[in-house]
Amino acid sequence: MQELVTAGLASFGENRIQQAVERIELFPDVEWHFIGNLQTNKVRFCQQFYLIHSLDRLRLARALNRRAQDWGENFKKYWFKSMYPVRPARVDCSRNECGRLSKKILLECPPTWKSAV
């Protein structure tokens, strides 16, 4: 990764929280994206991510919003919602539910969320 950063790559994605935490410590100035399935109990590790690409349920949005309020100014305020998964069986949100879920998230978590569906 050091070679990529030295070459000028500024954004990286990770799909496992444990690996991401280690890499973020090694490369704190890189823009990090979380691209994997995020469990609610792992939200506490998400402060350093610039974008979350796997928001698929209201419970997760609420947990992220609660943490974001605790993190304050250190937290990036814009989250990305990828509601159309390549493998739908791996997420809790179907295509038919995406619009309703997005509206609920925007209503319940307005200070933190930005829709990008």
Condensed to tens digits (0 to 9), the pLDDT of residues 70-86 reads 877 545 555 545 444 44
Contact 33, 5 (CB under 8 A): no
Distance CA 20, CA 73 (A): 21
Contact 14, 35 (CB under 8 A): yes
Could you tell me the domains of the chain? 2-108 (3.20.20.10)
Instruction: Using a cut of 0.85, tell me whether the model's pTM lies above it.
Output: no
DSSP 8-class letter at 39 = P
Among residues 97, 95, 92, 15, which one has the least CA distance to residue 59? 92
* Average pLDDT, integer, range 25-51: 90
* Average pLDDT, integer, range 91-105: 71
The predicted structure's pLDDT at residue 41: 93
Determine which of 1-5, 6-10, 56-60, 99-103 has the lowest per-residue pLDDT on average: 99-103
* Average pLDDT, integer, range 50-63: 83
